[in-house]
């Protein structure tokens, strides 16, 4: 349900941004706001608290950002607050980014590795994914030592697990299913 709500609001925001020719600026602004909210538990609690008035929520957000919001973003955030959808801000920001990339014929691939990839490895992986999907790919790497080795690649809702941890987990599942006579 959250995904459907977030997509609806992201599409609306993108339409407004297109009309105003501020697609990139709005994209950067919503990402910045989302990161600020996610990194500050007090702000998040204030925004999601039902007894805090809408104007106070917006003022609190502006105070934490330390900068003036664009009129479009201010109106959009007020809409989310009034409609009690502010808890979906992170999902809206993610959907907006996906829509923006889709509009440009690009996708974002999230890559989890046990150790950092070299620049050549990143380029090679991006090229292979681009050839597979026939779209331009932007890689976002996250280092997760718990994977032991290998990598996991997320393309939207799809996951390709080539990690050692994933292989061990699959082996464990097969062993559990084996019946001993």
Region 96-118 average pLDDT = 92
| Structure confidence at residue 63 (pLDDT) | 87
Shared domain for 45 and 122, answered yes or no, is: no
| Residue 181 confidence (pLDDT) | 62
pLDDT digits (tens, 9 = 90+) for 143-156: 999 889 999 999 87
What pLDDT does 32 receive?
93
Alpha helices, H only, the chain:
2-20, 23-39, 41-48, 54-65, 71-82, 89-103, 119-133, 164-177
In contact, 115 and 143? CB cutoff 8 Å: yes
Tens digit of each residue's pLDDT (9 = 90 or more) over 5-61:
999 999 999 999 999 999 999 999 999 999 999 999 999 999 999 999 998 998 888
Residues 106-132, mean pLDDT to the nearest whole number: 93
125, pLDDT greater than 90: yes
Q: How many whole angstroms separate alpha carbon 166 and alpha carbon 151?
A: 9
178 or 86, which is more confident: 86
Q: Considering the chain, what percentage of its residues have pLDDT values greater than 70? A: 99
Residue with tokens 């909210």: 37
**CATH code of the domain in which 79 resides:** 1.10.520.20
Give the residue from 55, 73, 101 where a domain finishes: 101
**Could you list the residue range(s) of the whole structural domain that residue 92 is in?**
2-101
Do residue 12 and residue 85 come from a single domain?
Answer: yes
Residues 133 and 88 in one domain: no
Where is mean pLDDT largest: 10-14, 97-101, 156-160, 172-176? Answer: 10-14
**What per-residue confidence (pLDDT) applies to 1?**
65
pLDDT at 31: 94
CA angle 139, 145, 147 (to 5 degrees): 80
Q: Is the dihedral of CA 50, 54, 55, 57 positive or negative?
A: positive
**Number of residues written out for the chain:** 181
Alpha-carbon distance of 9 to 28, in angstroms, equals: 16
105 pLDDT band, cuts 50/70/90, is confident
pTM of the model: 0.74
Looking at 101, 131, 147, the residue that finishes a domain is 101
Find the Cα–Cα–Cα–Cα dihedral 107, 110, 113, 115, rounded to 10°. 80
Q: Are the CB atoms for 111 and 163 separated by under 8 Å?
A: no
């Amino acid at each position: 349900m959250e995904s459907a709500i977030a997509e609806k609001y992201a599409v609306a925001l993108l339409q407004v941004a297109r009309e105003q020719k501020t697609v990139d600026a709005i994209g950067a602004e919503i990402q910045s706001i989302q990161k600020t909210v996610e990194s500050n538990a007090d702000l998040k609690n204030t925004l999601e608290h039902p007894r805090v008035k809408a104007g106070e929520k917006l003022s609190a957000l502006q105070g934490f950002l330390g900068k003036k919001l664009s009129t479009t973003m201010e109106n959009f955030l007020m809409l989310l607050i009034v409609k009690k959808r502010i808890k979906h801000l992170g999902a809206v920001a993610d959907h907006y980014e996906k829509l923006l990339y889709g509009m440009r014929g690009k996708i974002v691939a999230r890559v989890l590795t046990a150790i950092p990839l070299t620049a050549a490895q990143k380029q090679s992986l991006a090229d292979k994914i681009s050839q597979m999907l026939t779209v331009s790919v932007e890689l976002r790497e996250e280092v997760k030592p718990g994977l032991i080795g290998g990598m996991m690649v997320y393309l939207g809702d799809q996951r390709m697990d080539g990690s050692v941890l994933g292989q061990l987990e699959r082996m464990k599942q097969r062993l559990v299913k084996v019946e001993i006579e």
